[in-house]
């Protein structure tokens, strides 16, 4: 096993999870409750042992090797290569290669072209030779799938930085976009916050079109090196794709004649926008991709590497590195301390830990200190709404998110804090802000309200995943659950959220999962919310959900859903059993009053039987999402917090019954 900084254990390769040391328990039917209680006790001790002295928890956030490849490409571009880092990154990337020569975007998944191209180039930077067997397999795999020309735009941008691809053969992204008024389609606030933070710096890169000397050629990654970018026919002019393809040709022509003064003003405006959004720790939005592109953009505008903005940005990127015991270095795309801490607090409280336990009070103190009380980009669409809420990361004051805010409030209500007035004030601000972020359709998204424009996803540039932030069932469910526990189950905003959730239920009884995989996550989020809001167990929507959850239980008693469920219907509700997904299914069934059912008994038994001797669980499979299918996440703490929550609720029942606040409507935005 490969040790990680979060104290969990990552797989040494396929099948590693099966070889892990477990408790070895095989349960008879009557032993399940006792075994669940013992498993919960072990899990509590394990989780308490992983709390930081400051009060937070954070598990590793594992994605794919493009993070590591782009880190090496950035260092090559800036001329700050480091032999130790290069060797460690190469070690990690090599270890993730599949037998067919490709790299996947999630454990057990199929090879992915762009990821494989970037991984291959990174290994060339690390000194691997094209004729090495693992490299030859990779390049052959890339050629068989269309070569570099078939890769995504972001991959080809990285290659263009070194002349491995022509800037003329990339979609144009003019910096004048920064001047689009907020009412005009395709203004920067039409994009989701993660895309917005990436696109603004890339407009500068697109305008500057830099080319650094390439340390080697990449002819082996083209199907025909003489014609690396074969001409493709345009889509019909009457289609949206055809319209935007032709608009891109116009923008390419504009690039050649753009007034220099206007372009300079636009790039300077973009630079101001970028610098204004740099966080106190030097990062941008608490996520790695915007930080990388922001550093490149500012460097192209003349900011040297010793400038305070640049120095802080580069230092922040180093904090995304996870050094493993085998000497490999993995880059996290993001860090999740607020999310992990509120989920850990909920898990420990639901497992019976005293509400005034020092660990819970420390966690509450840390979460209270993380509250964001100044406006961010969300205020563009909600200018009258008072701030209050929590982000996902250590530092991300510009982009608090609704999901974290709802779960932090649920966590804080489980703690008996020595200063209840401070807690009530923070919760009040957070609840009002969350209510005010409701979209027009009655639901909630992650970061913005009404971020639903149909245009951004159609741009030729935007082929890297979701670029808008529409409402989702899982976020809406967490908000509804929070509002119900705050005594607002009958508030008009809560009722509209419930109506939206009922309308979004699939015919099979499940709900789509936007930020977790997939229908198991969505259903495991929605059912507890609906019953918390007072929906009876007998309601048809609840009964349909129960039937679906029971129908997709695996023969071993657990639940699992593969990421391919976002693409292929046959995978919906199906996949290898995992600890987190088994817990989500159990949370739905327990909330629906199914504690005594055979499905719950078998699911709880699976958790008890597969628990490791140290109180944790193995989970190599990715059960989180950044963009459904396109960007997948293995949250290393999910395998701990969700099983503990499910076991705690099975053993102790619903512990959280304290409801505060009133139901009276309010005319303000936060109502």
Query: Catalytic: 169?
Result: no
Yes or no: say if 468 and 457 are a contact pair by the CB < 8 Å rule: yes
The model carries a pTM of 0.92
Q: Strand 329-331 and strand 624-627: pairing?
A: unpaired
SS3 call for 337: helix
Query: How much of the chain exceeds pLDDT 90, in percent?
Result: 86
Given a cut of 50, is residue 227 above it in pLDDT?
yes
Residue 119's Cα: distance from chain center in Å?
21
| Interval 75-134: pLDDT, tens | 999 999 999 999 999 999 999 999 999 999 999 999 999 999 999 999 999 999 999 999
Q: What pLDDT is recorded for position 495?
A: 98
| Cβ-based neighbours of 480, under 8 Å, separated by 6 or more | 494, 497, 498, 501, 529, 530, 532, 533
Among the listed residues 68, 340, 403, 404, the single catalytic one is 403
The residue among 63, 54, 601, 93 whose CA lies nearest residue 358 is 54
pLDDT confidence tier of residue 225, bands split at 50, 70 and 90 = confident
The residue among 101, 112, 103, 91 whose CA lies nearest residue 220 is 101
Instruction: Measure the CA–CA gap between 646 and 432, rounded to whole angstroms.
Output: 29
Instruction: Measure the CA–CA gap between 148 and 162, rounded to whole angstroms.
Output: 14
DSSP strand E in 368-422: where? none
Yes or no: say if 610 and 617 are a contact pair by the CB < 8 Å rule: yes
Asked which of 26-30, 56-60, 545-549 is least confident by mean pLDDT, the reply is: 26-30
Asked which of 92-101, 218-227, 456-465, 571-580 is least confident by mean pLDDT, the reply is: 456-465
pLDDT confidence tier of residue 163, bands split at 50, 70 and 90 = very high
Q: What average pLDDT does the structure give for the chain?
A: 92
- Segment holding 331, helix H or strand E: strand 329-331
SS3 call for 450: coil
| Cβ-based neighbours of 471, under 8 Å, separated by 6 or more | 439, 441, 443, 444, 445, 452, 500
Asked which of 119-123, 321-325, 441-445, 656-660 is least confident by mean pLDDT, the reply is: 656-660
Query: How much of the chain exceeds pLDDT 70, in percent?
Result: 93
Instruction: Measure the CA–CA gap between 185 and 458, rounded to whole angstroms.
Output: 12
Yes or no: say if 430 and 405 are a contact pair by the CB < 8 Å rule: yes
| Interval 286-302: pLDDT, tens | 998 899 999 999 999 99
Given a cut of 50, is residue 3 above it in pLDDT?
no
- Segment holding 626, helix H or strand E: strand 624-627
Instruction: Measure the CA–CA gap between 624 and 346, rounded to whole angstroms.
Output: 19
Given a cut of 70, is residue 448 above it in pLDDT?
yes
């Amino acid at each position: 096993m490969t040790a990680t900084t979060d104290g969990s254990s990552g797989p040494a390769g396929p099948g590693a999870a099966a070889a892990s040391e477990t408790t070895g328990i095989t349960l008879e039917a009557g032993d399940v409750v006792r075994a669940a209680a013992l498993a919960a006790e072990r899990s509590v001790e394990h989780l308490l042992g992983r709390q930081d002295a400051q009060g937070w928890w954070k598990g590793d956030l594992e994605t794919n090797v493009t993070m590591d490849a782009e880190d090496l490409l950035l260092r090559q571009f800036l001329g700050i290569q480091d032999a130790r880092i290069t060797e460690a990154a190469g070690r990690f990337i090599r270890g993730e290669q599949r037998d067919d020569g490709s790299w996947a975007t999630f454990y057990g998944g199929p090879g992915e072209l762009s990821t494989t191209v970037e991984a291959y180039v990174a290994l060339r930077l690390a000194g691997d030779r094209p004729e090495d067997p693992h490299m030859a397999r990779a390049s052959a795999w890339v050629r068989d799938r269309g070569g570099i020309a078939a890769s995504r735009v972001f991959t080809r941008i990285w290659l263009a930085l070194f002349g491995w691809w022509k800037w003329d053969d990339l979609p144009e992204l003019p910096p004048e976009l920064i001047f689009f008024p907020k009412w005009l389609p395709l203004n920067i606030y039409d994009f989701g916050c993660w895309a917005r933070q990436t696109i603004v710096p890339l407009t500068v890169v697109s305008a500057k079109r830099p080319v650094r000397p390439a340390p080697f050629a990449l002819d082996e990654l083209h199907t025909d090196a003489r014609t690396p970018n074969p001409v493709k026919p345009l889509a019909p002019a009457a289609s949206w794709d055809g319209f935007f393809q032709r608009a891109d040709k116009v923008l390419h022509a504009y690039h050649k004649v753009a007034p220099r003064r206007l372009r300079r003003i636009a790039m300077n405006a973009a630079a101001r926008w970028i610098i204004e959004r740099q966080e106190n720790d030097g990062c941008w939005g608490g996520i790695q991709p915007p930080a990388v592109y922001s550093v490149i953009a500012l460097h192209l505008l003349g900011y040297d590497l010793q400038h305070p903005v640049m120095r802080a940005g580069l230092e922040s990127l180093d904090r995304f590195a996870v050094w493993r015991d085998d000497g490999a270095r993995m880059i996290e795309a993001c860090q999740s301390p607020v999310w992990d801490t509120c989920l850990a607090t909920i898990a420990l409280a639901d497992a019976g830990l005293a509400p005034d336990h020092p660990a819970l009070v420390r966690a509450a103190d840390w979460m209270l200190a993380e509250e964001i009380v100044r406006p961010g980009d969300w205020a563009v669409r909600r200018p009258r709404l008072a701030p209050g809420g929590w982000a996902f990361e250590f530092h991300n004051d510009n982009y608090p998110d609704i999901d974290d805010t709802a779960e932090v409030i649920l966590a804080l209500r489980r703690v008996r804090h020595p200063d209840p007035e401070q807690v009530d004030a923070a919760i009040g601000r957070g609840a009002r802000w969350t209510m005010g972020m409701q979209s027009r359709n009655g639901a909630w998204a992650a970061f913005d309200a009404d971020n639903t424009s149909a245009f951004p996803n159609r741009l030729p540039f935007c082929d890297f995943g979701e670029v808008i932030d529409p409402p989702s069932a899982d976020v809406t469910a967490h908000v509804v659950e929070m509002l119900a526990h705050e005594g607002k189950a009958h508030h008009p905003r809560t009722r509209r959220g419930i109506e939206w959730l009922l309308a979004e239920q699939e015919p099979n009884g499940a709900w789509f999962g936007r930020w977790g995989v997939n229908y198991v996550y969505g259903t495991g989020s929605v059912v507890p919310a609906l019953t918390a809001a007072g929906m009876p167990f007998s309601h048809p929507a609840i009964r349909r959900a129960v039937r679906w959850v029971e129908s997709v239980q695996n023969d071993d008693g657990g639940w699992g859903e593969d990421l391919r469920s976002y693409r292929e219907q046959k995978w919906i509700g199906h996949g290898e059993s995992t600890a987190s997904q088994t817990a989500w299914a159990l949370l739905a069934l327990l909330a629906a009053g199914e504690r005594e059912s055979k499905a719950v008994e078998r699911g709880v038994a699976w958790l008890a039987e597969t628990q490791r001797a140290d109180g944790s669980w193995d989970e190599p499979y990715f059960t989180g999402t950044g963009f459904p299918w396109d960007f997948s996440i293995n949250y290393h703490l999910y395998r701990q917090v969700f099983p503990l929550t499910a076991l705690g609720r099975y053993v102790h029942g619903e512990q959280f019954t304290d409801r505060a606040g009133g139901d009276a409507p309010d005319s303000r935005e936060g109502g």
